[in-house]
Structure 1
Amino acid sequence: MGLALRRRLTTWQFYLIAAWIAQFFAIAGFSAVFPFLPFYIRELGVTDPEQVTLWAGMLTSSSAIAMALIAPFWGWIADRRGRKLMVVRATFGGSIVMSAMALVANVQQLFILRLLQGLLTGTISAFMALVTSFVPESEAGFALGMMQMAVYAGNTLGPLIGGLAADHLGYRGTFVLTGAFLFLAGVLTVLGIKESTRPSRTPSSQGTLISQASAIIHQPQIMAVMLIIGGFYIASAVTVPTLPLFIESMLGSAALVNTSTGTIYGLRALTSALAAGFIGRLADRLGSRPLMIISLAGAAVALAGHALAPNYAVLILSSLAAGIFIGGLLPSANAILARLSSPDQRGMVFGFSSSINAFGNAIGPMLGASVASAWGLRASFWLAAGLLGALSAWAGAVVRQVDPPLPRLLRRTR
């Protein structure tokens, strides 16, 4: 069966399937622990509710901040030593760290391991850099869209798997299971993917970390797209602390707020996953720039729909719309990054982008909570919509078209 499938696919398609499965297992493993992390903190001896909340926030932010600081370094190493090596580092390193979390005796040890997780992992940017090394440039949008689909699928099913595993295996057993998921992702990468380009030995690729970073910073188009993606992450994270409270205010009761909030997130992730592959393919034909601009504008309208929603049913509809446009944004923007950057600097570019995104995820919730406390829950959705609308206008003004689609369309129709 495997050999028959291998014969029917081109080399890059086979590698993409292997990368998709590996990315799914990696993201599912990382996200599986989110549902019970506060309960695991309590099991480790922290009983005061305020301390549990404080440690949960510290454990979440510590990993993100560590990843934001280290991501450019790993991208630099990827350009010098190979992109596949960085995926192997992220998956096997993550497997060891996640499994070790099952052995901690106190929350301080768990905090140290979360820092190590942020320093050693980063599978999303590592896989993006690897995929762009073997996929034809004309298929970059589709390939990155499929990889984004794997991320959304992993984030959707991971918490469900983690919740079920925690009920049957216990919290420590679930950490071992997530370690196994990441180990499997590493094995799939080692056995299923061959990096098609060797690390560049040109003087530009062998420069210091500082010189490489400076070279990227002085490319305004690349920086503009990375800042747009970072701004998108801020806007997306703005509503994270307020959405459950907003849903509770609509329902008038806390009885079903967990199920209702989970439904919103699940539906949004599902539509994002379905949209990512489709819009990624569409970007290869119509151009990544217009689809990025449309996705930003559409997401802005959908978030405004959240702010205006009179009831839960309308909120679901606007969440479905948001999922479609959110799913289309990242494949389009990442395809632009891949086409703007030279092959010997893509690891660094995606590493920088990952760093900016991590900071966006850290800034967004604080910003949203502050706005909601000052002007009410709906204000956080207006803020997110305004940010996305401004990003759409800015993208239209500063980002140039990098993938002329018309000649390719004409070639396909001949």
Structure 2
Amino acid sequence: MVEDGASYWRRNLLIVWISQFLSLMGFSFSLPFSPFFIRDALGVSADSQVKMYAALATASSALALAVMSPLWGILADRYGRKPMLLRANFAGAIIVALMGMSPNITAFIALRMLQGLFTGTMSAAMTLMACCAPRNRQGLTLGALSAAVYSGDMTGQFIGGLLVEWYGFRQAFLYSGMAIGMSGLLVLLLVREDFQRPAPVIKTAETARNWHFKLGIVLSCLPLYILLMMSAFARSVDGSQFALFVEFLNGGVNEAGAARWTGRAAAAGCIGAMLSGLLIGRLLDYFRPSRVARTAALGAMLAMALIAIVPVHMLGMERVALDIGAFGLYFHDQAAPAVLALVPLRFMMIFFSAGLEPVMNVWLSKITPASQKGIVFGFAVTWRSIGWIFGPLAGGTISMLWGVEAIYVVGPFFFLALVPMIGWVLRKIRSRLES
């Protein structure tokens, strides 16, 4: 079966890929460094409060995203998918730029919540391309978009680590807004969508049956939604505390270079995610997705467990001098061996954990009619966001109670729990995948 717009899906994929790269790069110039921004620019000095506010800011954005995503999905099915992608980009550009002007922690958290209410570029792009690409190229398309997300994230975190050291945190938020705005302009000018708007709704018995039909489709996706939620929880449990973990391995608050090495370690993870999206997205069109998903969960579990062991046991070792040369440019830097050990392990952890996302997106797309993909992917974001709410809150709680390193002791068990869940979900949806 070929979905609408299939004649130009490759062109749209290229443009949306670049747009997502720019958008996620923009978000990553500043948001991953929120704990440092909260402490250094907003005047929150107590370590426990920094951890709490970092977790709260991340969770508040996810909560707002969870509430609004179904509405944006319904509007996408009603008015088109391209307008929703434009809304997410241009709203994100304005709100993220305003974050850099936050006078206090209350304003910053309020803007993070507004970001969740009005953005969501990834889900908007996924919905657009899921409706545009042929059925037998869904794995390639959605996997490629995942790669765009993580490669943009990688580039943004690497550059962002330098920007915050060179120009400060507030200026980094301004650059974030500019990059996201450029992404929106690209979509506005170059993305094509031949959307046929449905006829005006007249309240009749047929309308009620249509809403029952929509509700039935959403409820039939419930097993996948639960898996999405648990996967997002496992993947985000260290998200709000990762910068503080790098700072801990780097030697503490008084040791320079934490932001720079946070960007580098996060970038290594995003390289892994980018490669994972490209490889797994391609494999899903030819191999059994459930086996890919189980392997991904077990690999992420192992890598996260190694993070709890290897870098932590290298604390206190003498710092290493680094002379890096490339393309005629040379840099001199120093690094704690514990941070250097974290970089490849972070790559492994994100490489495997990112392999879960394309599997679930492809399953959702294949069991959903084209006319209902907006609402289905909208609710997918809601359930994913529930995981993003409780994951950072759980990570922040663990960090406050037992230290930031304890997250990597508890976290592997969350990935292990996904393995039996994948089999349960497959049994629930197998007949619809084969129809």
Question: Which TM-score bucket, shorter chain as reference?
Answer: 0.7 to 0.9
Q: 1:103 to 1:324 in 2, by over 3 A?
A: closer
1:391 aligned residue: 418
Are the equivalent residues in 2 in contact too, given 1:141–1:288 (CA < 8 A)? no
| 2:389 maps to 1:359 | no
Q: Which moved more, 1:311-320 or 1:231-240?
A: 311-320
2:129 aligned residue: 131
Identity of matched residues, %: 30
Q: Could you tell me which amino acid in structure 2 is paired with residue 329 of structure 1?
A: L
1:14 aligned residue: 11
Structure 1 segment 249-328 matched on structure 2, within 5 A: 255=255, 258=258, 261-309=262-310, 312=338, 316-328=343-355
Q: Which moved more, 1:324-333 or 1:120-129?
A: 324-333
Q: Distance in 1 between matches of 2:239 and 2:248?
A: 15
Deviation at 1:129, TM superposition (A): 0.2
Q: Which moved more, 1:120-129 or 1:54-63?
A: 54-63
| 2:224 maps to 1:225 | yes
| 2:43 maps to 1:47 | yes
1:156 aligned residue: 154
| 2:373 maps to 1:343 | no
Q: Could you tell me which amino acid in structure 1 is paired with residue 121 of structure 2?
A: T
Are the equivalent residues in 1 in contact too, given 2:33–2:243 (CA < 8 A)? no
Deviation at 1:248, TM superposition (A): 7.0
Q: Could you tell me which amino acid in structure 2 is paired with residue 24 of structure 1?
A: F
Q: 1:15 to 1:212 in 2, by over 3 A?
A: same
Note the aligned Cα RMSD (angstroms): 3.6
TM-score, normalization by structure 2: 0.77
Deviation at 1:165, TM superposition (A): 4.1
Q: How far does the alpha carbon of each residue in 1:310-366 deviate from its partner, in whole angstroms, 9 at most, with x for none?
A: 554765554333232123211121111111111122111211121222221221133
SS in structure 1 opposite 2:124? helix
Deviation at 1:308, TM superposition (A): 4.5
Q: Could you tell me which amino acid in structure 1 is paired with residue 224 of structure 2?
A: V
Q: Distance in 1 between matches of 2:57 and 2:364?
A: 31
Are the equivalent residues in 2 in contact too, given 1:205–1:344 (CA < 8 A)? no
Deviation at 1:31, TM superposition (A): 2.2
Q: 1:253 to 1:60 in 2, by over 3 A?
A: closer
Q: Distance in 2 between matches of 1:30 and 1:196?
A: 29
1:71 aligned residue: 69
Q: Where does structure 2 lack aligned partners over 5 or more consecutive residues?
A: 1-5, 315-337
Q: Distance in 2 between matches of 1:43 and 1:214?
A: 47
Q: Could you tell me which amino acid in structure 2 is paired with residue 239 of structure 1?
A: D
Q: Could you tell me which amino acid in structure 2 is paired with residue 367 of structure 1?
A: A
SS in structure 2 opposite 1:195? coil
Q: 1:282 to 1:92 in 2, by over 3 A?
A: same
Q: Which moved more, 1:131-140 or 1:254-263?
A: 254-263
Q: Distance in 1 between matches of 2:278 and 2:206?
A: 31
Deviation at 1:188, TM superposition (A): 1.3
Q: Distance in 2 between matches of 1:334 and 1:317?
A: 27
Q: Could you tell me which amino acid in structure 2 is paired with residue 30 of structure 1?
A: F
Deviation at 1:25, TM superposition (A): 1.2
Q: Could you tell me which amino acid in structure 2 is paired with residue 237 of structure 1?
A: S
Structure (1/2) with the larger helix percentage: 1
**Of the candidates 119, 144, 148, which is equivalent to residue 146 of structure 1?**
144
Q: Which moved more, 1:321-330 or 1:249-258?
A: 249-258
Structure 1 segment 57-68 matched on structure 2, within 5 A: 57-68=55-66
2:181 aligned residue: 183
Are the equivalent residues in 2 in contact too, given 1:26–1:123 (CA < 8 A)? yes
Q: Distance in 2 between matches of 1:164 and 1:241?
A: 20
1:411 aligned residue: none
Are the equivalent residues in 2 in contact too, given 1:149–1:274 (CA < 8 A)? yes
Are the equivalent residues in 2 in contact too, given 1:371–1:380 (CA < 8 A)? yes
1:92 aligned residue: 90
Are the equivalent residues in 2 in contact too, given 1:296–1:329 (CA < 8 A)? yes
Q: Could you tell me which amino acid in structure 1 is paired with residue 237 of structure 2?
A: V
TM-score, normalization by structure 1: 0.81
| 2:27 maps to 1:30 | yes
Q: Where does structure 1 lack aligned partners over 5 or more consecutive residues?
A: 1-8, 405-414
Q: Which moved more, 1:379-388 or 1:231-240?
A: 379-388
Q: How far does the alpha carbon of each residue in 1:260-315 deviate from its partner, in whole angstroms, 9 at most, with x for none?
A: 55443322211111121111011011143332232223222333333444554765
Q: Distance in 1 between matches of 2:241 and 2:57?
A: 20
Q: Distance in 2 between matches of 1:297 and 1:372?
A: 24
